Structure 1
C-alpha cells in the first residue's frame, strides 16, 4: 500500500529521459558541403590539329613497256637503283628497224630526185608554152607530174620519220626520274609492241603523297570555325602536315596539304585529303601506314578541360560537373574536339569563367551543395584522406 506514491514519480522520470533523448537527436548537426577541387575555365590560344590514319602513295609512277617487237640484247641498269629521266634501261635488237630506216631514207632520195626532174621539165614547158611550142595539155601534164613528185617526197619523209621512231624505241628509256624495280625480263627474252606486261616499274619517291580520309563532319566543323574566326590559318595559307610512322617514331620532315577531294564518299562519309611530303632520304615508300597530323592553325579563344574531369554517359557523350554561382553542381553534356596533352579542347557546352569539378567527382550528385577549392589543394587533401584510410 505504501509503494503507490512512488509510481507517478517513476513515470515522470521516464518521460524526462525520453524528452532529453529527442532533444539530443534534434540537435545533431547537418553534414557539411562536400569539398571538391575545381578549375575556372579561361580562354587561351590553342593550336588546332587533326590526327588521321593514312597511306603513302607515289608522286609519280611509270610502267616501262616496249613499243616495238624484238629480242632484248642488253639490260643497262641496276635493279633497285635510282635512274634519271631519259636514261636507257634496255636495248632491243635494232637490226630490222635500222634496215627499215635505211630503206625509207633511200625512198626519200628517189622521191627527191624525181622531183628535181619534174621541176626542170615544168620550167622548160613553161617557156615553150609562151612560144606556142607545146600545147596547154603538155604543160598541165608536166605541172601535175611535178606536184606528184612533191607529194612523193612528203610521203617518203613520213616513212623516214616513222622508221626513225621505231628505231629509237629499240632504246627503252626511263620516262621519269625515280627508283626502278626489279627487272621482269632478262637478256634474250622476246618482247612485243604494246604488250600488257611491264618490263620494270620506275617510281618517284621524292616527294611522296600521303592520302588520309577526313570525316565530313570534321571538315564542316573546321570550315565553320575558320569562318567564325576561331581558327587562324598559317601566314602563307598552307596547312602543315607532320607524320608519325608505324613504329611510333616521328618523321623528321614537315609537308603540306596539297588538295582535298570535292566529293564525299557515301560509304564512309569522309573526304580524301592528300598531303605532299618531302622524302629526300627515301625513307617513305608507297603503301606505308602512317598517322598524319594536319595543323589547321590556332584557336585564339580555346577552352581546355582536364581529361580527368570528363566522364561519358551511356550513349558515350562527354559530360562534366559544373559548379554554379550558388555552389551547387549540375551535370552538363559538352562537345569536345582534339586532345591537347592531358586536356580536351571544348567545342561546345561551356564558356569562359565557369568552374569545373576535377577532384571528388564520385562524391557528388546533381543539385548538391559543395565547397569548391583549388584543384591542387583538393587533390592533396584527397590523397591525405586516402592514406589515413589505408592506415
Structure 2
C-alpha cells in the first residue's frame, strides 16, 4: 500500500501567498494623478528695452602732479586720500637754490636797466651836437645802436627774471585741479627732477564720474533697425538714460546718461565705445571699479515679462515650460533680455496667449500631462489648515 505524501503547514502558507500575489497582479495598476501647476498667460505690455553691458568707472579728470624744478622735498602739505581744491599746496621743495637764481636774475636786470639809461642819455646829448655838426653822423649812429642794444639787454634780463620767478614758484607744488588727492609718491628728503618729471602724486575728480563700456557693432545695428521699424520707441535720443548695477548686484541710486558714442568700430574687437556720466556725491564709485551699465534704449510697447522663477537659465540657453495641447507640458527655448524687478524680459520664443508654468516646475517633465490650478490668493497664510480639515478634526 502506497503512503500519502505529508503536507506541512509551511507548504500551505507558501501556496497561499503565491495565490494572493497572482490575484494582485491580475488587477490593473492606476496611473498617478497629473501634477498641479500654476500658469500665467503671456500678455504683451509696455516694457523698457535695455541693454546690459560691463564697464569700468573712470574719473572725469585726472591730473598727475610732477616736479617742474630740481630739488629736495622739504614737506608734504596735504593729507593723503582727502579732497583738495585747485591751487592748494601739496609739496614744498627746498627753494634756496631757486631763490638765489631769482636774486641773480634781478641784479642782472638792474644792471641792464642802468646800462640802457646811460645809453639813452648819450643819445640825448649827441642829438643836438650832430645837428650842429659838432660830431659826425657815424658817432651818433653808434650811440643809437648802443642804446638799442641796451634796451634788448633789459628785455633779456627781464625774461630771465620771469623764468627765475616761475622756478621759484614751482618749489611750492600745488594741485592743478580740484579733486581727491592720492597717495604721495615721494617722501620728505627725496630728490625730484624736472628733467625726468618725477611723479609726486595724482589728483582725480570724482564727481561726476565716467563709465566706459562697449557694445558689439551687430547689436548696435539691431537696435537701430528696431528704432527705424517702430518696434522700439526712443523718447529722447539726446539724453539716453543709463542705470548702474554695482558689483554686489545692487542698483546705484542716481541715474546717468550717455554723453559719448564713438563713430568708429574697433577693428580688433568689433565693438563701439560708449561712455556715460553719473553723479557721485557720496564717492561710492571709484576709478577702476567694475560695474554693469544698463542702457535704456527705448520703450517696447509689445514686450513680454516672465517671472524669474519660471525661466530656467543655462550657460548657453534659457527655456520655460508651457502648457500645450491636451494640458501636456512642453519645454520651450527662449531668449532672455535684461531683468526688470523680479521678471525676465523675453525677446524671442513666446507669443501672446502662451501659458507659462510659474509654480510646480519641480514636479513636471516635458510630455507629461498637468493639472492647472488657480493661483494662490495673496492673503492666504502658508500652512493654514482648510475649513474641511478643521471640521473633520472637530
Give your verdict on TM over 0.5: yes
Aligned to 1:281: 282
Aligned to 1:60: 61
Closer/same/farther in 2, CA of residues 248 and 350 from structure 1, 3 Å limit: closer
Unaligned ranges ≥5, structure 2? 1-36, 358-363, 378-394
Q: Which moved more, 1:71-80 or 1:191-200?
A: 191-200
Runs of 4 or more above 4 Å deviation:
36-43, 303-313, 315-324, 329-336, 339-351, 375-380
Distance 2:71 2:312 in 1: 72
Deviations 1:52-84 (A, max 9, x none): 222212222222221111111221111222111
Does the aligned pair in 2 maintain the 1:215–1:269 contact within 8 Å?
Answer: yes
Aligned to 1:292: 293
Which residues in structure 2 correspond to 1:309-324 (within 5 Å)? 316=317
Aligned to 1:252: 253
Does the aligned pair in 1 maintain the 2:85–2:175 contact within 8 Å?
Answer: yes
Q: Matched residue of 2:272: which SS?
A: strand
Distance 2:238 2:250 in 1: 28
| Shift in Å, 1:340 | 4.3
Which residues in structure 2 correspond to 1:1-391 (within 5 Å)? 42-235=43-236, 237-304=238-305, 316=317, 337-340=337-340, 345=345, 347=347, 354-359=352-357, 362-363=366-367
Q: Matched residue of 1:68: which SS?
A: coil
Query: What's the TM-score once normalised by structure 1's chain length?
Result: 0.72
Distance 2:102 2:355 in 1: 88
The count of aligned residue pairs is 335
| Shift in Å, 1:101 | 0.8
| Shift in Å, 1:211 | 1.7
Distance 1:305 1:125 in 2: 103
| Shift in Å, 1:151 | 0.7
Closer/same/farther in 2, CA of residues 177 and 201 from structure 1, 3 Å limit: same
| Shift in Å, 1:319 | 9.3
Aligned to 1:17: none
Distance 1:152 1:282 in 2: 55
Distance 2:216 2:271 in 1: 4
Distance 1:54 1:202 in 2: 22
Query: What's the TM-score once normalised by structure 2's chain length?
Result: 0.72
Does the aligned pair in 2 maintain the 1:309–1:357 contact within 8 Å?
Answer: no
| Shift in Å, 1:51 | 1.7
Distance 1:280 1:115 in 2: 59
Does the aligned pair in 1 maintain the 2:112–2:150 contact within 8 Å?
Answer: yes
Deviations 1:238-296 (A, max 9, x none): 12222222122222221222212333334433222211111111122112121221112
Distance 1:142 1:63 in 2: 52
Closer/same/farther in 2, CA of residues 316 and 131 from structure 1, 3 Å limit: same
Distance 1:318 1:53 in 2: 24
Unaligned ranges ≥5, structure 1? 1-35, 365-369, 381-391
Q: Matched residue of 2:202: which SS?
A: strand
Does the aligned pair in 2 maintain the 1:211–1:275 contact within 8 Å?
Answer: yes
Distance 2:311 2:77 in 1: 64
Deviations 1:331-366 (A, max 9, x none): 998765444456654556777xx53243599338xx
Closer/same/farther in 2, CA of residues 337 and 187 from structure 1, 3 Å limit: closer
Distance 2:356 2:289 in 1: 41
Aligned to 2:388: none
